[in-house]
Structure 1
Amino acid sequence: MPRRVPEELLPHLRRARDLADREYAQPLDLAGLAAAAGVSKYHFLRCFTAVYGRTPGVHLTERRIERAQDLLRATNLTVTEICHLVGYSSLGSFGTRFRQLVGVTPTEYQATFAESGAPRIPGCWVFMHGLSDRRRTAQFGRSPHRSRRSTVEACRTIDPEDTL
């Protein structure tokens, strides 16, 4: 029998889900998501599962793989770069989970869209505009402005034939 969740808890669960959707690339754990909802982690786990039909961990994994699919289709980034951009630290774990959810490996998935010849977004553009400066600053210990300049320099070295 499905668990009944108090209606006043729904906005709090939505806030935690929105946090996972927005910060999917960050290391998120059950305690952090529960804190965003303002409830204990075990109560949060039960209620989230009852409302959304899957655990917060499964939801986060699906969000990361969906974002990876977008990047694989639309950019010229490598699978390893995308793996790290969507929050995985292990290429093996990323590849295994991707294959479980999508049915093919990330490389095979990317190759199917590369064959279509559609224009692809250069990786430097994704790094320059697609990531928040907060994440890059925390990851590399640099100021956001210095990171942005080094990325702009990297973009200047791209072969014009590889861009849109």
Structure 2
Amino acid sequence: MSQDPVLLRRLLRAKDKMDAASHEEWPVERLARVSHVSEAHFARAFKEAFGAPPHRYLLTRRIERAKALLRDTELSITEIAFQTGWSSLGTFGRTFRDVTGESPGALRDREKTALHALEQVPHCFVSAAYRPDLKSAVSEKRRQEAVPRVGPRKKREAP
């Protein structure tokens, strides 16, 4: 379904605000105000336009920024957690591990050893390659990992 260009510009305004200040809190209410639409309409339209709900998009941006800081700076993991918008080191570490599959410290160690090989690759390609894949919510991933699957999942018939 194609969206109205005026609405898309409004959604892009909110997306740009999140990109510029991903360390800040961005509840749907605030994003809807930036876009001049209702909260429910904003949430639906944002997901339709960008393929992910606003919270998941923001989480992606925060993880991308944290990965870059881990790779490119000597800041402590605690400083990186707070600079990228988490209020708790534990939440940052758990979420980071859930999304990337490794702890912030392990990623930093691995990146430091592989850094010399990436110097020949344009930065835009490296950034795209390191973008986290958040097709499902972190809490959904945790549930899926906690429950071992025995066989294929059956699809429910629509009524």
Q: TM-score, normalised by structure 1?
A: 0.67
| 2:90 alignment counterpart | 92
Give the deviation of 1:67 after TM superposition.
0.2
- In 1, the alpha carbon distance for the partners of 2:38 and 2:44 equals 10
The structure carrying a bigger helix percent of its residues is: 1
State the one-letter code of the partner of 1:38. Answer: H
| 2:130 alignment counterpart | none
C-alpha distance after superposition, 1:100-142 (max 9, x if no partner): 2211110100111233576xxxxxxxxxxxxxxxxxxxxxxxx
| Structure 1 stretches of 4+ moved >6 Å | none
Structure 1, unaligned runs of 5 or more:
119-164
CA-based RMSD of the aligned residues comes to: 1.5
Structure 2, unaligned runs of 5 or more:
117-159
State the one-letter code of the partner of 2:71. Answer: R
| 2:26 alignment counterpart | 28
- Bigger relative contact order, structure 1 or 2 (CA pairs below 8 A, ≥6 apart): 2
- In 2, the alpha carbon distance for the partners of 1:40 and 1:19 equals 17
Q: TM-score, normalised by structure 2?
A: 0.69
SS of equivalent to 2:16? helix
State the one-letter code of the partner of 2:38. Answer: S
Contact 1:4–1:50 under 8 Å retained in 2: no
Give the deviation of 1:75 after TM superposition.
0.4
SS of equivalent to 2:19? helix
State the one-letter code of the partner of 1:51. Answer: A
Percent of residue pairs identical: 37
- In 2, the alpha carbon distance for the partners of 1:93 and 1:117 equals 27
